[in-house]
Amino acid sequence: SSFAETYRRVVRFEKLSNLSFRLHTDKPAPSLLSDLEILKILDLDGFPPGAKPASIPGAGPYALVSANASLVELARVKASCLPEPPMAKIKIKTVRDDLSRFLKLKTGEIDVVMNELNYRKVEAIEADSTLPIQLSTSDGIGYTYIGVNTRAGPLQDLRVRRAIALSFDVPALIKYKSRGMATVARNILEDQNFYANRAVARVERNLPEARRLLGEAGFADGKNARPRLSLTLLTSTASFNIENAQVLVAQAAEAGIELKLKALEWGIFYSDVKAGNTELYLMRWVGVTEPRIYFEAFHSKEIGKGNRTFFKNARLDALTERGETTLDIPARKKIYDEVQELVAQELPYIGLWYGKNVIASRKNIKDLISVPSNSWKPLLKARKE
């Protein structure tokens, strides 16, 4: 199962009524409640070929009517345990080109774009009140970072990792490239999260210190304008990722660090990252609210799975194992405060920013409000006049 690891603590399912149940776990599982939200029906073993999609069981307020690569149709159902949504039907279209999404929204061919317009289009909408388009924004929790392969040559040295982090001017990138539609990251968990350690300092650019650390690590000034250090930065082929990576490459060069940019299609990119076939990679965690993420991302037992930086630290292993079973909330908060301090010191991730969420919709769409998690749940309250 795709969710075997997430629900490994569950040993028994007890039905209490048609709308309630009890889960029994082998050990205390403080993250289980938030984990339940990610459970989705993907493929059903034994689901008969040719069966109508509407017969797929679910508990939401919409049933699947039809689905293909370009269109998913949903219809409201009254048997749901959730309140009945205003919209009787929802059609979800796949429009891969950003300009096409904007034009279809402008002409009314589509009603809503959920966080899929680039910041230039958002800026254009904000500047033109005559457009029949409105925006709803929220501070997002999607965490963009550079993952560091901590077993790769010079990156085993903390001084090199810190020098790279000090070479980046993230506020400038946000201001000029993202048009202010992001905030500088501190931890994986955004500041509004209860478990976020807001005492952790954000890394600020310091080129002299970056050069000093490189020299101390054995990477002196390059002769004939050659870089002190050359590394590969991997990214996906998404245009926005490439543009951001190009800015980071230029910034790192000012510290004498050459980042050779390599863009790959997502499948190949992700395979290379998991296999450790790169030194640095640009990536993003989406919708993270549970501090257990630190176990998945950095525990040594997770290498080859969620731990894609090959980071090993005995203290972090011990802390995240305690966090896995600690039910006392203040005690759990204290554990993850220390975890975040340790990650900030060791830099298996170089945190960059949290992107803001933007829902663009036609002005006749009401009560559609963006939320930090970038969830589609706001559609359950939206209505069309």
The yes-or-no verdict on residue 49 having pLDDT over 80 is no
- Mean pLDDT for 240-265 is 95
Tens of pLDDT, residue by residue over 75-93, are 998 866 778 999 999 999 9
> Vertex 97, ends 96 and 103: CA angle to 5°?
120
Q: Which residues pair with 358 in a beta bridge?
A: 137
Contact of 139 with 282, CB cutoff 8 Å: no
CA distance 305 to 225: 40
188: buried, middle or exposed (CB in 10 Å: 19+, 13-18, 0-12)? Answer: buried
Domain 53-133+373-384 is in which class?
alpha beta
Mean pLDDT score, 330-340: 97
Look at strands 133-138 and 10-17 and give their pairing: unpaired
Taking the model in full, what pTM does it have? 0.84
Quote the pLDDT of residue 60: 80
CB 130 within 8 A of CB 257: no
Higher local confidence (pLDDT), 182 or 11: 182
- Tell whether the torsion through CA atoms of 183, 187, 188 and 192 is positive or negative: negative
Strand partners, 74: 64, 90
Q: How far apart are the first and last CA of the chain?
A: 42
3-state secondary structure the chain: CCCCCCCCCEEEEEEEECCEEEEEECCCCCCHHHHHHHCCCCCCCCCCCCCCHHHCCCCCCEEEEEECCCEEEEEECCCCCCCCCCCCEEEEECCCCHHHHHHHHHHCCCCEEECCCCHHHHHHHHHCCCCCEEEEEECCCCEEEEEECCCCHHHHCHHHHHHHHHHCCHHHHHHHCCCCCEEECCCCCCCCCCCCCCCCCCCCCCHHHHHHHHHHCCCCCCHHHCCCEEEEEEEECCHHHHHHHHHHHHHHHCCCEEEEEEEECHHHHHHHHHHCCCCEEEEEECCCCCCCHHHHHHCHHHECCCECCCCCCHHHHHHHHHHHHCCCHHHHHHHHHHHHHHHHHHCCEEEEEEECEEEEEECCEECCCCCCCCCCHHHHCCEEC
C-alpha dihedral over 247, 249, 254, 258, to 10 degrees?
A: -170
The residue length of the chain stands at 385
pLDDT > 80? residue 45: no
pLDDT beyond 50 at 265: yes
Is the pLDDT at 342 greater than 90? The verdict is yes
Sheet of 89-93: strands edge to edge?
62-67, 71-76, 89-93
- The domain ranges of the chain are 53-133+373-384, 143-355
Q: Identify the band that residue 379 occupies on the pLDDT scale cut at 50, 70 and 90.
A: very high
Within its chain, how far is the Cα of 81 from the centroid? Answer: 29
Tokens of 85: 């949504």
**350 close to 164: Cβ distance less than 8 angstroms:** yes
155, 281 in Cβ contact below 8 A? no
Q: What is the pLDDT of residues 312-323, one digit of tens each?
A: 999 999 999 999
202-225 confidence digits (pLDDT tens): 999 999 999 999 999 999 876 666
Tokens (6 digits) for 176 = 């000029």
Fold of 143-355: Dipeptide-binding Protein; domain 3 (3.10.105)
Asked if the model's pLDDT at residue 120 lies above 90, the reply is: no
